[in-house]
Amino acid sequence: MRDVIVLPGIGGSGEAHWQSHWEKAETRMRRFSPSSWDQPVLDDWIEALDREVGNLAEPPLLVAHSLSCLLVTHWAGQSRRVAAGALLVAPPDPTSSVFPGEAASFANPPMAALPFASLVVASSNDDYGSLAYARTCANQWGSAFLDVGAYGHLNSNSGLGDWPRGRAALTAFEASLGQVSSSRALRSL
């Protein structure tokens, strides 16, 4: 099994967040460590992700939530390192009035195809990014897309706990890597 780097959004995904549950359940998952979770600086987060990927023998899977979805796109456009794939959950719209001002350096994410397989997972009632925005991101990033229904920002406030459906999406996505048509394998989600 591949190593997985967990990439929380602003604030760092607390104990009740599904990312924290997944990390506790699987030793192959490790969280990247930027200088600050609460005062994010894009260059610092890119360096932290690059360092974490560089510490691994093989390209890892990335499991990003919220602001880290934008991080992954910026990193992919700048780094010589690659990921095996990325699960991008609840990408926030940087043009939205609720986008955190302290994350301004993450605005203007590259809207080009990622150099690795990816799956955007979105909620139909996310205050930080509409379903239409998430679909646009998926289309421009060359990602498969999964609408999981009305669960808010897919964070601890969503009451997802271990989020079995998200874990199933990750398992199916990982299994699809290397297949001729990963989108076909993901349609069953």
Residue-level pLDDT at 74: 98
Task: Pick the closest to residue 13 from 166, 138, 180 (CA basis).
Answer: 166
Task: Pick the closest to residue 144 from 182, 113, 171 (CA basis).
Answer: 182
Helix/strand/coil for 133: helix
Alpha helices in the chain (DSSP H): 18-25, 42-54, 67-78, 131-141, 164-176, 182-186
Instruction: Let me know how long the chain is.
Output: 189
Task: Pick the closest to residue 86 from 176, 154, 158, 157 (CA basis).
Answer: 176
Residue pLDDT, tens place only, 57-113:
999 999 999 999 999 999 999 999 999 999 999 999 999 999 999 999 999 999 999
pLDDT band at 1 (very low <50, low <70, confident <90, very high): confident
Give phi and psi for 104, each to the nearest 5. Answer: -55, -30
Within 8 A by CB and 6+ apart from 127, the residues are 98, 152, 153
| Residue extents of the structural domains in the chain | 4-186
Residue-level pLDDT at 185: 44
189 pLDDT above the threshold of 70: no
Task: Pick the closest to residue 26 from 167, 188, 185 (CA basis).
Answer: 167
pTM of the model: 0.93
Instruction: Determine the topology of domain 4-186 in CATH.
Output: Rossmann fold (3.40.50)
183 pLDDT above the threshold of 90: no
